[in-house]
Amino acid sequence: MIDFNIPKTSQQRIVIVGGGFAGLSLIRKLSKNPNFQIILIDKNNYHQFQPLFYQVAMAGLEPSSIVFPFRKLIQKTKNCYFRMASILSIDHHKQVIDTTIGSIDYDLLILATGVDSNYFGNSDLEKNVIPMKSVSEALFLRNKILEDYEAALIETDFEKRQSLLDIVIVGGGPTGVEVAGALAEMKKYVLPKDYKELNEEQIDIYLLQGGNRILDGMSETSSQKAENYLKNLGVKVCKGSYVSTFDGEKVTMKDGQTYTAKKVIWAAGIAGKKINGIPENSYVRGNRLKTNEHHEIEGMPNCYAIGDIASLQTESFPNGHPQVAQVAIQMANNLANNILNSKSNGFVYKDLGSMATIGRNAAVVDLKRMKLSGFLAWAMWLFVHLFSILGLKNKLFVFINWVWNYITYDQSLRLIIRPRKKD
């Protein structure tokens, strides 16, 4: 067995797979206890602040402003280790996991792997749409948007130019709404300056939502407010039909409606990735792992799941809790307290509210006893997200970018960067 070149000690070995909000919250709590040896495994060597992916894609923020190196997080601890790898399988009888860099045993295994885009088994969608579940995907989208604008400048055929300019966003949740709003503001404020040869009025932005309202996880009041904001920005909100296919040129809906565009941004669904060794009956809808109130995966002793990948079904949440950062953080804190204090407190989610931003001075916030919109909601959104970012330097850079963009109506990072080995 290759133990990742990590010494075997008398400490209880806790292996955490995934460094998202749940994984990092867990490490922060457990790393203070010298009785534990903590090993974090992630396919990247950095934490990604997912709520701001769309701002990287819209050239509003640098990628480095919303990521934080794992090794910087643990550099002052003696009992924490990081290894960059992907998990392949679990043998919960032997308490061993197999990864892309070898195998390692554990005393406690905590899966906080998060989820990825869900294409619902449609290979055409998986091949042709643009997801936005990582920094690299956000950068790809930024490059694609800017490359198509450059190509549109020299395209003489009207229909071909329109397909380069028009954008379709699938999914009316917070990600889809925020992307649509950011694109509409780019069209309004940036294109007339950078691409003055183009007629920005000809650019169509479509937000496609299968249900009968956007932001269906929020109140009807906030949903309607958000839709009004988007329409005022020129976004065409289309509801009540699901995407059937996209061939790279044309989106076809199940009701027969079509939209011509070369770019389709996919924000329509998420699902977990199955891991070999986990019993099939442990999975529920969306490939989430069914857990009890103590976060234990059913049928797998000493194995836990928290965050987006976990599904704790309760009377209030029969399909599992919302897959948002607050749930992940609260699950991690509850599990950490149970491990540290040898307790078995059941998880109870405290809903702190939900929010989404549409653009400058326009956002919606649902709190327990009130619904906010407009500038106050927008300022609250900025405050909450700014102070949730890891690292003082990142907070400062994001704040400076936001202030600059607000004052100048401009985004300063419209760069097409194609990574390559040599010129």
pLDDT in tens, 62-106: 899 999 999 999 998 999 999 999 999 999 999 999 999 999 999
Q: In this structure, how many other beta carbons lie within 10 angstroms of the beta carbon of residue 343?
A: 10
**Tokens matching residue 179:** 């992307």
Kindly state the average pLDDT of the residues 329-339: 97
Q: Per mean pLDDT, which range of 29-38, 333-342, 402-411 is the poorest? A: 402-411
* pLDDT classification of 31: cutoffs 50, 70, 90: very high
Fold of 123-269: FAD/NAD(P)-binding domain (3.50.50)
Q: Are strands 263-266 and 167-170 parallel, antiparallel or unpaired?
A: parallel
- Cβ neighbors of 81 (< 8 A, separation 6 or more) are 4, 6, 37, 38, 39, 40, 74
CATH 3.50.50.60, the chain: domain bounds? 12-115+272-341
Write down the mean pLDDT value for the chain: 93
CA-based end-to-end distance of the chain: 42
* Residue 413, pLDDT above cutoff 70: no
pLDDT at 254: 93
**What is the chain's percent helix, strand, coil content, to nearest 5?**
35, 25, 40
Cβ neighbourhood burial of 315 (10 Å; 0-12, 13-18, 19+): exposed
**Tokens matching residue 59:** 């050239």
Phi first, then psi, for residue 84 (nearest 5°) are: -85, 110
**Do 91 and 70 touch, CB atoms closer than 8 A?**
no
pLDDT at 421: 53
Q: In Å, how far are 203, 229, 359 from 235, measured between CA atoms?
A: 10, 9, 12
Please give the model's pTM, rounded to 2 decimal places. Answer: 0.92
Kindly state the average pLDDT of the residues 119-138: 93
**Tokens matching residue 221:** 């009041």
Phi first, then psi, for residue 3 (nearest 5°) are: -95, 35
Please report, rounded to a whole number, the percentage of residues in the chain having pLDDT higher than 90: 84
pLDDT at 404: 87
* Residue 422, pLDDT above cutoff 60: no
More confident residue, 423 or 372: 372
CATH 3.50.50.100, the chain: domain bounds? 123-269
**Tokens matching residue 318:** 């029969």
* pLDDT classification of 337: cutoffs 50, 70, 90: very high
pLDDT at 208: 97
pLDDT at 417: 77
* pLDDT classification of 423: cutoffs 50, 70, 90: very low
176-224 per-position pLDDT tens digit: 999 999 999 999 988 888 898 988 888 999 999 999 999 998 999 999 9
pLDDT at 168: 97
Fold of 12-115+272-341: FAD/NAD(P)-binding domain (3.50.50)
269-324 per-position pLDDT tens digit: 899 999 999 999 999 999 999 999 999 998 899 999 999 999 999 999 999 999 99
Half-sphere exposure of 206 (CA within 13 A, CB side): 24
What dihedral do alpha carbons 149, 140, 325, 220 form, nearest 10°? 30
